[in-house]
Structure 1
Amino acid sequence: MLKGLLGNGDSDMQIGIVGLGLIGGSLGLDLRALGHRVIGVSQRPSTCEQAIARGAVDQASPDPRLLANTDVVFLCTPLGMMETVAQQLCPHLHPETILTDVGSVKAPIVASLSLLWTNFVGGHPMSGTAEQGINAALKGLFVGNAYVLTPTSETPVAAVDTVTALARALGSRVYHCTPEVHDRAVAWISHLPVMVSSSLIAACSHEADGAVLEMAQKLASSGFRDTSRVGGGNPELGVMMARYNRDALLAALYQYRDRLDQVITQIEQQDWGSLETHLQATQQQRSCFQFQPQ
């Protein structure tokens, strides 16, 4: 039991994955390729069967007792289910098992799950596609992308080191920060873009002149495609972002609205010099963001 934690580094572990969708399935594919034994848990027996058939897990079942002898368990359920699933799961885990999650919001998840399990490490692999479910799982999904871990002062160092080693083995670029810094950062670069993008789609779709709307739909190309992409994603995920990262997202939305109001004023007043200065500044500032490969 726990041989990966008791002297053999991060090799040949027994790893559990709860939630066999895009992220959970992709983790399974890569972790098995690294030589680990992967055990999956999903509510639907059909998903368990698909995960086995796809090679994402060695074994799978709806029964969380299957994870009793795992070294590390990745919790890959939707944000709204994580605490409930963890409550059902923890009584079946060995005391030394490390529990980590993949949620896109960290502060509330870390606060609740750390109370349930001492060996919990908050995590967020910033990888994904527009597709969902086990059939969307991909090998190499995490290569080159950021993987954020959010330990607190009470998180066991050994647990952080183990999850860090696993994330790096997946080919990810690992970053450590507090849950609060993570949530404020992703509000800007992930959650705000979803709301802005969806609002763009909604605004265009409410064009009153049918002929104009039809022509806009026909002419839409790379500019509209790129700025509308995340707004056309999973609605449930968007609601979870807003619900669980509400304060940070609202702060970002308010500041975005202020900037947009400034642009509106510049155009209304035909202040082309100020508008050009604004666009020159954003042209330079964009290069400061390290875009992740997709």
Structure 2
Amino acid sequence: MKIGILGLGLIGGSLGLDLRSHGHYVLGVSRRESTCTKAIALGSVDEASVDTNLLVTAEVVFICTPIGLIIPTVEQLIAYLPSNVIITDVGSVKTPIVQAISSLWDNFVGGHPMAGTAESGIEAAQRHLFVDRPYVLTPTAVTPKTAVNVVAEIVRQLRATIYHCAPEDHDKAVSWISHLPVMVSASLIAACMSETDSKVLQLAQKLASSGFRDTSRVGGGNPELGVMMAQYNRQELLKSLQKYRHNLDELISLIEQENWKVLEEKLQLTQQARTAFVDD
């Protein structure tokens, strides 16, 4: 199959590496000529160009740009594509994207691979990035089943775990387990940096180990991505943040009251609940 990838960063580059390993012919488009050259050299694509015309022969096109560029990119791209081409995206917010593009292009399947690293750019691309990672597809009632099946088969070749859900349900779920952690983690870093005693701050920085590393990782990630999450999933993220603030206030109250018994009970509940979200 001839597959196009528009946006050759970490996700797009990694997709290309795996798709080519399964015998697909991969066409890549990037805004920078230097990225196109690197993508070919790294083996992420068979051909690459800054010109979207390269994708006119593709059967499926993955849009791997930042969230804010997905809709305008598709608006420009569809002028070049035959109507039978399947378009899918990898954005971490789905409702506004699916609503906008589905009205423009019948064969659109919303998608979100839940995979990535702290690195970005084509140089960060790696093989098997999606293995055993969730890959969400968000078809609507009018999405052609044939298009969904084609994208799902490609995802299976990536050895990812496929989930199907409504775009709205996706955005509610990721607000809890992806977007909220970014804001909480960023707040943790900002709170630590508010220490006014420079000696204490420097000591804390030297003593920071696995606990701080684990809880601060996503807050130290790509700022542009964090802003896009907040902008495009604003309402759901606000709900999650408000609920988090309520839980934080409860903890503050318990500590102020020295209610160690109830605090322990609460921590026991969270200890038990965590296993339903992650398996160490």
Q: Tell me, what secondary structure is at the counterpart of 1:282?
A: helix
Q: Which residue of 2 aligns with 1:171?
A: 159
Q: Which residue of 1 aligns with 2:203?
A: 215
Q: Return the alpha-carbon distance in structure 1 between the equivalents of residues 122 and 247 of structure 2.
A: 40
Greater shift, 228-237 or 282-291, is seen at 282-291
Does structure 1 residue 240 correspond to structure 2 residue 231? no
Q: Return the alpha-carbon distance in structure 2 between the equivalents of residues 276 and 132 of structure 1.
A: 40
Q: Return the alpha-carbon distance in structure 2 between the equivalents of residues 290 and 109 of structure 1.
A: 28
TM-superposed deviation, 1:28: 0.3
CA offsets 1:152-173 (integer angstroms, 9 cap, x no match): 0010000001111110110100
Q: Return the alpha-carbon distance in structure 2 between the equivalents of residues 83 and 158 of structure 1.
A: 23
Q: Which residue of 1 aligns with 2:168?
A: 180
Alignment equivalent of 2:51, drawn from 63, 81, 94: 63
CA offsets 1:28-63 (integer angstroms, 9 cap, x no match): 000000000000011111111111111100001111
CA offsets 1:126-156 (integer angstroms, 9 cap, x no match): 1100111001100100001000000000100
The answer to whether the 8 A contact 1:41-1:48 is kept is yes
> When the two structures are superposed, what TM-score results if normalisation uses the length of structure 2?
0.99
Does structure 1 residue 140 correspond to structure 2 residue 112? no
RMSD: 0.9
Q: Return the alpha-carbon distance in structure 2 between the equivalents of residues 176 and 257 of structure 1.
A: 31
Q: Return the alpha-carbon distance in structure 2 between the equivalents of residues 105 and 266 of structure 1.
A: 36
Q: Tell me, what secondary structure is at the counterpart of 2:62?
A: strand
TM-superposed deviation, 1:290: 3.7
Q: Which residue of 1 aligns with 2:267?
A: 279
TM-superposed deviation, 1:14: 0.2
Q: Which residue of 1 aligns with 2:147?
A: 159
After TM superposition, which residue ranges in structure 1, 4 or more long, deviate above 3 angstroms? none
Does structure 1 residue 131 correspond to structure 2 residue 119? yes
Q: Return the alpha-carbon distance in structure 2 between the equivalents of residues 228 and 46 of structure 1.
A: 33
Could you tell me which runs of 5 or more consecutive residues in structure 1 were left unpaired when the two chains were aligned.
Answer: 1-12
Q: Return the alpha-carbon distance in structure 1 between the equivalents of residues 150 and 255 of structure 2.
A: 54
> When the two structures are superposed, what TM-score results if normalisation uses the length of structure 1?
0.94
TM-superposed deviation, 1:21: 0.4
Q: Which residue of 2 aligns with 1:26?
A: 14
Alignment equivalent of 2:194, drawn from 206, 210, 220: 206
TM-superposed deviation, 1:242: 0.2
TM-superposed deviation, 1:208: 1.0
Aligned partner letter, 2:31:
Q
TM-superposed deviation, 1:103: 0.2
Alignment equivalent of 1:112, drawn from 84, 88, 100: 100
Q: Return the alpha-carbon distance in structure 2 between the equivalents of residues 79 and 179 of structure 1.
A: 15
Does structure 1 residue 149 correspond to structure 2 residue 137? yes
Q: Which residue of 2 aligns with 1:259?
A: 247
Q: Which residue of 2 aligns with 1:195?
A: 183
Q: Tell me, what secondary structure is at the counterpart of 1:73?
A: strand
> How many residues end up aligned between the 2 structures?
280
Alignment of 1:80-99 (within 5 A): 80-99=68-87
The answer to whether the 8 A contact 1:70-1:94 is kept is no
Alignment equivalent of 1:78, drawn from 66, 72, 80: 66
TM-superposed deviation, 1:22: 0.4
TM-superposed deviation, 1:95: 1.1
Aligned partner letter, 1:73:
V
